[in-house]
Structure 1
Amino acid sequence: MAPSEYKIAMLPPPGDVVAPNGFPADPRPKNAPRIFLDAMDLRIEVFCDEQHCALEPELDEDDPRSWHWVAYRTSESGAEDPVSVIRIVPPPHGPHPNGFSDPDEEPYVKLGRVATKANHRGRGLSRLLTEAAFQWLAAHKEKVAAGYDGLVLCHAQVSVEKMYAKLGFVTDEKLGRWDEEGIEHLGMWKRV
């Protein structure tokens, strides 16, 4: 199936409806929008079930304030199946995972929670969603944050560093490498 045969949906920041009682929170909140629930189901499948990351921190404090993109494939029965997901987290951000902090760092967004179902990998869906998000960011900088000028940070799993490089991201050696849930990560930047 070609990327053009997938439907892309975007959900603006859903707010407290995804964690009405604060954190930790149910990763499948009852009153959350359908797009959010689809994104969470896919993230749980890929990160928790497949990669053995902990379930409890999968829904985090960034989810209520983030934009979420989901790619859907329509099945023969007409059902829309979520197959790929990303999120964009607006500023502000805390120190980088290695502790590096620059008070003069320009506002940036974080691309993260990039996940694609195993049977849909290799079809360019992460690229498709990332490009859709970048087009939206370029056209709506004022909705992101004051002073935002298109800078994007990705905390990439080391195993997919080359994929992000193909998308135009450049590895930042000053951010080093760190462990998240037993998976080695590094920081990469791009301007859209």
Structure 2
Amino acid sequence: MLQIQIIECETPVEIERCKKIRIEVFCDEQGFSADEEFDKFDQDPTTKYFLAVDANTSDDYGTVRLVNDNKLTRLAVRAKGRGNGIAKKLCFTLEDYVRKSNPDCLSLKTHSQLQRKSFYAQLGYRVDENKGVFDEDGMDHVLMWKQL
């Protein structure tokens, strides 16, 4: 049984572990190029990364990234870990981090792939209807936000 713990990444090695998961999920599974997947925020020292690790085996299962202090991005869970609440745990950990580190932040936003919209809705995110559906790197997305 998985015992997932979420760590806030502080070293380049931990951040590279997050990037490996992103390559597996977004590039290998979903077909995005590495040029599309890795952006200016990966070079930004203020970007925060979180990593889901099995406490029993130290295997990495998922990751999420916080940019601009208020945008949840690059949520990814390896296929072997899906259906275990890992994505939800990553999101809640990121939200708690924002509440503690930036108490003036009133909401979080994310660009959700259209087919993932219901996942975020279950966590309390709402679609920004004014923005509508938009293309991001060849895939339909919607802007979603959550009041903290």
**Structure 1 length-normalised TM:** 0.71
Aligned residue identity for 1:68: Y
Say yes or no: does 1:61 pair with 2:40.
Answer: yes
Say yes or no: does 1:139 pair with 2:100.
Answer: yes
Give the corresponding residue for 2:90.
129
- Partners of 1:88 and 1:150 lie apart in 2 by 15
TM superposition shift of 1:7:
2.0
TM superposition shift of 1:175:
1.1
Aligned residue identity for 2:116: V
> Secondary structure of the equivalent of 1:123?
coil
TM superposition shift of 1:133:
1.0
Give the corresponding residue for 2:72.
111
- Partners of 1:47 and 1:137 lie apart in 2 by 25
- Partners of 1:39 and 1:179 lie apart in 2 by 25
> Secondary structure of the equivalent of 2:15?
helix
- Runs of 4+ more than 4 Å apart: none
- Partners of 1:113 and 1:48 lie apart in 2 by 12
Aligned residue identity for 2:97: W
Q: Is the 8 A contact 1:110 1:152 kept in 2?
A: yes
Gaps of 5+ in 1: 13-31, 92-108, 143-147
**Structure 2 length-normalised TM:** 0.90
TM superposition shift of 1:182:
2.4
Say yes or no: does 1:88 pair with 2:70.
Answer: no
- Partners of 1:149 and 1:182 lie apart in 2 by 31
Say yes or no: does 1:50 pair with 2:6.
Answer: no
Q: Is the 8 A contact 2:98 2:105 kept in 1?
A: no
Q: Is the 8 A contact 2:51 2:63 kept in 1?
A: yes
Aligned residue identity for 2:117: E
Gaps of 5+ in 2: none
Q: Is the 8 A contact 1:169 1:190 kept in 2?
A: yes
> Secondary structure of the equivalent of 2:142?
strand
Say yes or no: does 1:40 pair with 2:1.
Answer: no
> Secondary structure of the equivalent of 1:149?
coil
CA deviations 1:53-83 (Å, max 9, x no partner) are 01123221112231111101256xx4x2211
Say yes or no: does 1:185 pair with 2:147.
Answer: no
- The structure in which a higher percent of residues are strand is 2
Q: Is the 8 A contact 1:137 1:150 kept in 2?
A: no
Q: Is the 8 A contact 1:85 1:116 kept in 2?
A: yes
Aligned residue identity for 2:78: K
> Secondary structure of the equivalent of 1:159?
helix
